Structure 1
Amino acid sequence: MKTPVTVLGLGAMGTALAQAFVTAGHPTTVWNRTPGRAPDLTGVTRARTVADAVAVSPLIVVCLLDDASVQEALAPAATEFSGRTLVNLTNGTPAHARRAADWAIQQGADYLDGGIMAVPAMIGGPHAFILYSGSSAAFERHQADLAAPARPQYVGSDPGLAALQDLALLTGMYGMFGGAAHALALTSSEKISPTEFTEQLLVPWLTAMLATLPAIAKDLEYGAEPGAAGSNLEMQSTAFVNLLDASRDQGVDPALLAPMGDLLARAVREGHGDEDLAAVVRLLRTAE
């Protein structure tokens, strides 16, 4: 028989996770703060309390709204966690993950924190993956179980590493979306078809630019060769002024772009004009 699993939280993501475990053949117990949530979820056992839900499974998966709701939900069942594995898939920060890990260890449980890189509709499909960090022993023991909702990828023993990389990926995504939104605002100011512009120009351009990221990462990690930057920061900073001026001329708020222009200008002022975007990353790391 496959490992029994308890899922705490039946929002859109929690429901998708529970259904994936059921579909994969895991005896699945669920609990939700609001009774009757996810009435269409079939094949599960509904527990009346958190303690009842935790007591029946060696693998506990929690997916709630935020860190505060996790603390509130788990506290009444603290004595039930000994000898079990707690997997926290609630979106949070590295600090949240490390605090939750400390709590779980105090209760005698193994702890894994997870960053879900998917929307609910993707769970159980081939493109979803989840980053995990924390107890390596727990990951090895439950890796096959955790593959039910999404491909599991272990990123380290520090419980905060999955949350950190989850949020890093999201910042990259939102930065791209922010740039795309500005691009569409610019073109829409002249009644250019958003569909044609996106399909014929924007997506191919962004796809081509993504291919430059490994080189930037390599320069950041190992240092750039002198003169290797094909489009150095001084050139980019000079041209960036045109992006801002054209936006204002077209009646488009440059708020999404202005911080990047300021950062490029700072890099040039501080002597990095002949370098590439890896220098900008270093400037962002203000704690160093």
Structure 2
Amino acid sequence: MNRTTETSVTVIGLGLMGRALAAAFLKAGHATTVWNRTSSKAGPLVAEGARLAPTVGDAVKASPLTIICLTDYPAVRELLELLDASELAGTTLINLTSGDSAQARDTARWAGQRGARYLDGAIMAVPPAIGTAEAVILHSGPRPDFDAHKPVLDALGTATYLGEDPGLASLYDVAGLAMMWSVLNAWLQGTALVATAGVDAATYAPFARQLAAGVAEWLPGYAEQIDRGSFPAEVSALETDARAMEHLIAESEAAGVNAELPKLFKAMADRAIAAGHGGEQYPVLIEEFSRPGGD
């Protein structure tokens, strides 16, 4: 066990992720206080040098920085509302609980009204990665509070600051999920297609990975078009892409593969083309994604 430093931290919530967070702080040498409704989960951490606080209030008062990792935001508020303002005043809360941006902003206001400093966060990693550079931890809220605690937060992985709006970490989190599921669903669509010709997933995967990496290289240039609001067809016009989508739909249906995903692509492209954007490049579809339900 590492010798503890003068910088102490509290972790509230000892699920798989919370235990990983506390273990990383201990490994980095930080004096670590923990609290969980089921205190038995703290046993291995206590054996490594953590202090188990008897109450939530005691846990918060034990350190200038409290990391919260619970099931959802209502659970966070239910727990913190057990405390009075004097227990919260002057402390810094970093909430790494998953939720949405409205909940994050509301919790930030709630904490501020009670004299606490507040950062919202999102963990872009699985528990075994915590404590390594591969674990990206997003933070949003007041910059001075992030800077003040970054040396401690670095024990968890790559501490990343997004901006003053406390809702940004949650927004980036769900935007990242959109990317993840979209890539995986597209890969599964292709895997199902090539499987009809006897090609297994392991054989197709390297090609799919190469293609995904190539598409990722387009993003900075496409982002410039979106930010300018101008979409010249430098590579391909949307109406050309729409014809390729027709081929994907037809091939899927002929092979007996589910065509719902490519039909969704085509429906969005058709709406943009009907609105007069057929001669522009693919990122013009941002206008479809920026309105609810394709209205």
For Structure 1 versus Structure 2, the TM-score category normalised by the shorter chain is over 0.9
Q: Which residue of the partner structure matches residue 20 of structure 1?
A: 24
Q: How does 1:1-288 map to 2 (within 5 A)?
A: 1-37=5-41, 39-41=43-45, 42-79=48-85, 80-199=87-206, 201-224=207-230, 226=232, 228-286=233-291
Is residue 222–residue 283 contact of structure 2 (8 Å, CA) maintained in 1?
yes
Overall identity of the aligned pairs, in %? 40
Deviation at 1:113, TM superposition (A): 0.4
SS in 2 for 1:86: strand
Deviation at 1:77, TM superposition (A): 2.2
- Aligned mates of 1:151, 1:8 — CA distance in 2: 21
Deviation at 1:124, TM superposition (A): 0.5
Deviation at 1:38, TM superposition (A): 5.1
Deviation at 1:183, TM superposition (A): 1.2
TM score, norm. by length of structure 2: 0.92
- Aligned mates of 1:113, 1:178 — CA distance in 2: 29
Deviation at 1:115, TM superposition (A): 1.4
SS in 2 for 1:271: helix
- Aligned mates of 1:25, 1:168 — CA distance in 2: 34
Deviations 1:209-253 (A, max 9, x none): 111111111100124364x43111100111101111211222221
Deviant stretches of 4+, over 3 Å: 223-226
Is residue 3–residue 59 contact of structure 1 (8 Å, CA) maintained in 2?
no
- Aligned mates of 1:131, 1:188 — CA distance in 2: 38
SS in 2 for 1:76: coil
Deviations 1:53-95 (A, max 9, x none): 1111110000111111111122112431110000000111110
- Aligned mates of 2:274, 2:153 — CA distance in 1: 49
Structure 1 pair 193–38 and aligned structure 2 pair: CA distance change class (3 A): farther
Is residue 231–residue 280 contact of structure 2 (8 Å, CA) maintained in 1?
no
Is residue 252–residue 259 contact of structure 2 (8 Å, CA) maintained in 1?
yes
